[in-house]
Amino acid sequence: MVAITAAFIRGRSGALSKSLCLLAAVLPLLGAAGWIFEIDRLKQIHPELPAMQPNTAFGLLLCAIAALLTSSDPRPRRQRVAGILAVAVSVLGLLTLAEYTFGWDLGIDHILIASSTPGRIFTGRPSPQTAANFVVLGLSLLVFNWRFLPIRFGQVCALTVSANASMALTGYIFSTRQFYGFPEIAADIGMAVHTGASFIVLSAALLSCRPDEGIMSLLTSHTRSSEMARRILAIAVLGPPLIGTMTLIGVKAGWYDVHVQVSLFVVVLVTLLLRTTWKAARQSEAEELRTRSALEESHAANEKLEKVSYERRMFEALIENSSDFIGISDPKGNPTYLNPAGRRMLGMTEDFPIENAKILECYTSEQRSFAADVILKSMLKEGHWKGETYFRNWQTEEAIPVSDEHFLIRENETGRVLGWGTVSRDISEARKAQEVIRQSQERLQVSEAKYSGIVSTAADAIISIDENQRITLFNEGAEQIFGYTQTEALGAQLEILIPERLRGVHREHVNQFAMGLGTARRMGYRKTVILGLRKNGEEFPADAAISKLDVGGKRILTVAVRDISEQKRIENEQRFLAEVGAILGSTLDDRSALTSIAELVVRDFADLCIVDVVETNNSIRRLKVAGRDQSAAKVCALLMEISLDPNQSHLMRSVVESGRPVLLQQDSPEMLASLSQNEAHLEALQAAGLKSLVAVPLLSRGKLMGVISMISSSSNRHFGPADVHLAEELARRAALSIENARLFDDIQRAVGVRDEVLAVVAHDLKNPLATISLTTETLRLSDPVDPAKLDDYTRRILRAVQQMLSLIADLLDFATIQSGTISIEKDSNDIAAIVMTVVDGARVQSQAKRQTLGVDMPSALPRVSIDARRIGQVISNLLGNAVKFTPEGGTITVSVRHQANVVTVSVSDTGAGIPPEDLSKVFDRFWQARKTGSMSGSGLGLSIAKAIVEAHGGTIGVESQVGKGSSFSFTLPSDSWAMNMGSASRYVAF
């Protein structure tokens, strides 16, 4: 809104200035027409008010023309004409002031009019105020056009003219002649109403023509300060006449006298100024806080940037000084960087442009087909490749054995491929050592029988294959690892032990090794990591060592396989827990964190994951059921529908009650029964084929927060004790994160309570302050004061002071009210006396709005056991709202009824009423009805009243009809021993 207003002033300033100039010319033309055609209504608005004199009309026309020629686009001819007119206006004003000061008659009064007006001393002569405005306005026009002084001076002159005219108009509103006839020379001399209006319009036209210069630049800038300056200027210039005119209506209508009008004028004007100042202070505070926050973020960003820069330099130094070959290629495989060690390994000069090289040129001629068919294809399909191969030296063509690893470089946040990375290490010395070891091993392998005896007792899988890759040796370790018997494995193809998707790559590796090609030409031993395939279809990671032996011209390949599933499982669990930690550390929303963890669990470990949370009332609520894929959507929906009835026995309830994990193994009938609520659910879960389950509690400091359940529906995945340990570790971290999130919420609520207390102060201190203010103003305006009234006014002020002290005491335990432990000190009290005390305190506000305030209650009421101060606070709040929202002349009724050991207190009004859609919200904290004007509040009063009534064991409610009014009622239990002294009613109206 600030930017739109500023842009409008800047973009439309020229058109606005011209329009104001034309408007300013219309008023003096009407005055001149009144003199020409003898129309008194055009000369003077009212017979008792000063008229616009001919010289005044002439001067105003000159000013309007000069202002019309003044624009933001300087043109010499226009500036000269406007300056001459400005000088003429100033001279006219100076000469008129000289006539008044020295008693001269220079004859300029009758230049435009020949005769004198009966009863007027100086016919045709402007008033002293008008003449002074001509002098100042002419000077302002000179500054705007000839620029012999700063433009700020001319703008101040224009504002001075506007303020003088505004003061004159305010004098008319308050019938204060000293404002529009100052200095008082004669009874009929003063600034006319339309003269003052013309001066204000001319001043606005001048200020609008140069919106980007001087003090106007503040008003038209795109800032919060500019907005506040515009508001304050609008209140200062337009406030007095507008507010005065509005309050004058009441005087003319006979609602109140001039003294009340002045009081209302001051109160409204001060309220507007205080509101504007308060808003400016809050905005300034917000800007300062944002600036501090931005500065702190800037410092943190600088520190982070310095750290990143240092890490980057360290990384560059590491790569540059590494003894390994390190190369980087773009996403298409074109080399972009090679470190010094890599250049030395390839025999490449330092200035050789690496972008001109090709990846395949780094390998020996025998290895290039392998690199193209195996390495590059594996990179494109799997994203990485690791193994041993040969580089070539470009200078000597020497083959260099290397441990070669290729991988895709991805962006952390998006996963986008940035390029390819290669890290290779020269293993020439290691190869020599391996060759020595191999020769020693061949010498030790004296006979096949001896060799077989050793193999048969090995714990690892020892497998031998012939040239056709048929299995010729399958030891007991292989039977344990792969699940095949020797009878099943011997004579079968090696491919039965390898996953189908990898068989082509493994076959190529074995062929090259067996034939002594490429990588295997100089080695008879090779070690790598493979994926094995068990008989039951389960894949597992394994370390594989391949050796080659020539016996009788035949090549026998022997593979030693070691199952590293447990090692990989531990690595996967650690990686999984690290991802869990990252998720838990990224949010303070415990529900969002648990949902994300469920998705992570089904991604890596389980087919289904169920998250149940324990509410504050110890009930169990199902938060999330996640499935690995879309096929589990139906089962997830069924599990989400199951209501966890606390009165029924089910798995989650048993975990909650025991606080210990539960492991249900494959084909366990109780597992499905514990997850089912009825037969239909049981049949659906049985059809889903659920096999095993792990359920663990979320415990933190001995407090149960929920349950996480992991379910497997795959025959290849059966949960065991290791999975229980992982689930417990997951639950421990999740519970700790949830506790931290809840502690953070507690802190936020504590801060909210502090802000609510401040809001209550602003809300509940208004009524007594208004009472003191109005009573004091009445005393000031009453002369003399009747002793009886003085005593009554004094008692009103004392009651208001006591009410303020009571409110302050209430605010001290506001936090206690919010926590549900409000302090109530009950005693037997007379409800009628409490009602009348509150009503007496509200009389001043009600009388100020000419409202009828009545009390309707039986002549005798039973005593009630209540906290009199608290109940008085409730009645005062309801009555204060009724006075505030009931229009002038309306009716407010406070009634008390006793029926069936219940006392009902009602406050009814004839106000605007509350819309039906808002009735359910009136007792909510911070809720306010849609209203206009100065009727504002914190929105806490009714919520406090509700808490007090409910603490007494009563109820509070509201009935309302739009356009007819509202009725707030609350009930209180009456004392059981109290007696009803009669049913006669009394009604008192004020």
pLDDT band of 892, cuts 50, 70, 90: very high
Quick one: pLDDT at residue 449?
44
Q: Give tens-digit pLDDT for 589-608.
A: 777 778 888 888 888 778 88
List the one residue out of 569, 510, 570, 563 whose CA is nearest residue 541.
563
* DSSP secondary structure code for residue 364 in this structure: -
3-state helix, strand, coil in the chain (%, to 5): 55, 15, 25
* Whether residue 618 has pLDDT greater than 50: yes
Quick one: pLDDT at residue 218?
63
Q: Give tens-digit pLDDT for 420-440.
A: 888 888 888 877 777 776 665
The proportion of the chain whose per-residue pLDDT surpasses 90, expressed as a percent, equals 7
SS3 for 713-733 is: CCCCCCCCHHHHHHHHHHHHH
Q: Residue 183, preceding bond cis, omega within 30 degrees?
A: yes
Residue 393 corresponds to which tokens in the numbers above?
């030296």
Quick one: pLDDT at residue 756?
63
Please report, for residues 333, 335, 368, 420, the alpha-carbon distance to residue 383 in angstroms, rounded to integers and kept in the order given: 13, 17, 19, 9
List the one residue out of 629, 854, 289 whose CA is nearest residue 281.
289
Residues in the chain: 990
Q: Give tens-digit pLDDT for 440-495.
A: 556 545 444 444 555 555 678 888 887 777 888 888 888 888 888 888 888 888 77
Q: How many CA within 13 A on the CB side of residue 523?
A: 24
Q: Give tens-digit pLDDT for 125-155.
A: 888 888 888 999 999 888 888 877 888 888 8
What are the strands, taking DSSP E only, across 477-553?
525-533, 539-551
Q: 421 has which bridge partners?
A: 328, 407
Q: Give tens-digit pLDDT for 861-871.
A: 888 999 988 89
Burial 278-307 (b: 16+ CB within 10 A, else e): eebeeeeeeeeeeeeeeeeeeeeeeeeeee
d(CA 499, CA 379): 19
Quick one: pLDDT at residue 737?
74
Counts for the chain of helices (H) and strands (E), in that order: 33, 23
Quick one: pLDDT at residue 635?
78
Higher pLDDT, 842 or 691: 842
Quick one: pLDDT at residue 884?
87
Instruction: Give CA angle at 101 (98, 106), nearest 5°.
Output: 40
* Distance from the first to the final alpha carbon of the chain: 47
* Whether residue 858 has pLDDT greater than 70: yes
User: Would strands 325-329 and 335-338 be described as parallel, antiparallel, or unpaired?
Assistant: antiparallel
Quick one: pLDDT at residue 586?
67
Residue 981 corresponds to which tokens in the numbers above?
């002294």
pLDDT band of 4, cuts 50, 70, 90: very low
Quick one: pLDDT at residue 262?
74
Burial of 594 per CB tally in 10 Å (0-12, 13-18, 19+): buried
Does this model's pTM top 0.85? My answer is no
Please report, for residues 135, 355, 399, the alpha-carbon distance to residue 395 in angstroms, rounded to integers and kept in the order given: 98, 19, 11
Under a CB-based contact definition with an 8 Å cutoff, are residues 862 and 980 in contact? yes
pLDDT band of 908, cuts 50, 70, 90: very high
Under a CB-based contact definition with an 8 Å cutoff, are residues 354 and 347 in contact? no
Q: 857 has which bridge partners?
A: 986
What 3-state DSSP class applies to 513?
helix
Quick one: pLDDT at residue 443?
59
Residue 100 corresponds to which tokens in the numbers above?
């008044």
Max CA-CA distance within the chain? 150
d(CA 613, CA 665): 24
User: Would strands 985-989 and 852-858 be described as parallel, antiparallel, or unpaired?
Assistant: antiparallel
Under a CB-based contact definition with an 8 Å cutoff, are residues 273 and 234 in contact? no
Under a CB-based contact definition with an 8 Å cutoff, are residues 434 and 526 in contact? no
Please report, for residues 403, 463, 536, 560, 721, the alpha-carbon distance to residue 531 in angstroms, rounded to integers and kept in the order given: 20, 15, 14, 13, 24
Q: 710 has which bridge partners?
A: 609, 694
Please report, for residues 63, 93, 182, 664, the alpha-carbon distance to residue 132 in angstroms, rounded to integers and kept in the order given: 14, 6, 11, 100
At position 804, the amino acid (one-letter code) is: M
Higher pLDDT, 963 or 216: 963
Higher pLDDT, 658 or 337: 337
d(CA 520, CA 555): 13
- Rounded mean pLDDT of the chain? 77
Residue 587 corresponds to which tokens in the numbers above?
């949010």
pLDDT band of 272, cuts 50, 70, 90: confident
Quick one: pLDDT at residue 474?
83
pLDDT band of 762, cuts 50, 70, 90: low
